[in-house]
Structure 1
Amino acid sequence: MMKKMLLLVFLLPLAAMAQDRGIRFEHALSWKEVKEKAKKEGKFIFMDCFTTWCGPCKKMSTEVFSEPAVGDFFREKFVSVKVQMDKTSADNEAVKSWYADAAAIEKKYSVRSYPTYLYFSPEGKLVHVGHGSMSAASFLDTSARALKPATRTSPTR
């Protein structure tokens, strides 16, 4: 029992450090506050639209969003937010506070598959959309395209 406790005490700081190296998602801000922060900082907005039941969403969170290179790029260029698009009985107050915005985002931007990545300009205008599970390199490439008008997708909204 004591060995397990010591191992846990040793591993917890390492896990916290690993998490800190990936994308830092805003958990305490509303959609309005995310947009205000992005505009103030002159950064684009990255929105990960996910569901609790989505395997590829979980894979992206654990294997790609946690990568140090991904975290470095996103901390410099984006204000990032994760938006849970489904509702469960286990949802905390932070998730519940996004229910109305999540439904509006899903409708306005036709989010129909998961994960969907929405990229907004610092002014809050949708400029690029990405979908699905991918490698860290592909995800960085997709995200870099959002920053350049010539390489963006052409959202109609």
Structure 2
Amino acid sequence: MQTLKLAFLFSWLTIFSCAQRPKEEKAKLNWLSLEDVTAKMQQEKRPVLIDLYTDWCGWCKVMDKRTYSNKQVSDYVTSKFYPVKIDAESKKTFTWKGKEYNFNKNARAHDFAIWLTNGQLSYPTTVFIPVDGDPQAIPGFLAPNELELLVKYFGEGNDKKISFDKWHKEFKSSW
């Protein structure tokens, strides 16, 4: 009898562990180049969100998979920002607001990445550039609900109305 109960329990657990869970809706963020953003800014001013990454960064890949592929993140970022993905070790020349940035051999990083992070390189780093403001770099992996706090702060212009500390205390995540 004991063996029968254990067999039944084992079978039941196996069935439930193999049952399909509803999949989270995946989305693909349409990343733009800096050149595209410069052209689009002529038509419509928006803040810029930059995903600063490297090819060897494991957490950058996790953030792509878990955060930027989240439908709510993708929809919101696409509607409020110009999203740009930049390899911090790229050898390509970048032009931003009329200034050219190149790869810095001594730092083994791109001068644009160094400028965006004020020399505090870390990967991944999410950088927000308000329409008429300076880059605000947020280092480290951000889950969708953590990114929500930031994208809604900058995406809705709250950075011009309220301190981040006050925003953070009052913010209620919906993602």
Is the Cα contact below 8 Å between 2:52 and 2:124 reproduced in 1? yes
Distance in structure 2 (CA, Å) of the matches to 1:52 and 1:103: 13
CA distance 1:36–1:111, shift in 2 (3 Å): farther
Q: Runs of 5+ in structure 1 lacking a partner? A: 1-16, 88-94
- Runs of 4 or more above 4 Å deviation: none
Greater displacement, 75-84 / 96-105: 96-105
Is the Cα contact below 8 Å between 2:125 and 2:141 reproduced in 1? no
Residues 1:107 and 2:114 are matched in the alignment: yes
Q: Runs of 5+ in structure 2 lacking a partner? A: 1-24, 95-100, 104-108, 166-175
Displacement of 1:104 in angstroms is 2.6
Which amino acid in the other structure matches residue 113 of structure 1? S
* RMSD after superposition: 2.7
Higher relative contact order (CA 8 A, sep 6+): 1
Number of the residue aligned with 2:88:
85
CA distance 1:44–1:113, shift in 2 (3 Å): same
Greater displacement, 51-60 / 108-117: 108-117
Distance in structure 2 (CA, Å) of the matches to 1:85 and 1:105: 8
Compare the two structures and name the one with the higher helix fraction.
1
Question: TM-score, normalised to structure 1's length?
Answer: 0.66
Number of the residue aligned with 1:51:
54
> 1:133 pairs with 141, 165, 169, which one?
141
Residue correspondences, number? 124
Displacement of 1:43 in angstroms is 1.4
Distance in structure 1 (CA, Å) of the matches to 2:72 and 2:36: 26
Number of the residue aligned with 2:31:
25
Residues 1:96 and 2:92 are matched in the alignment: yes
1:138-153 alignment runs, 5 A limit: 138-146=146-154, 147-149=157-159, 150-152=162-164
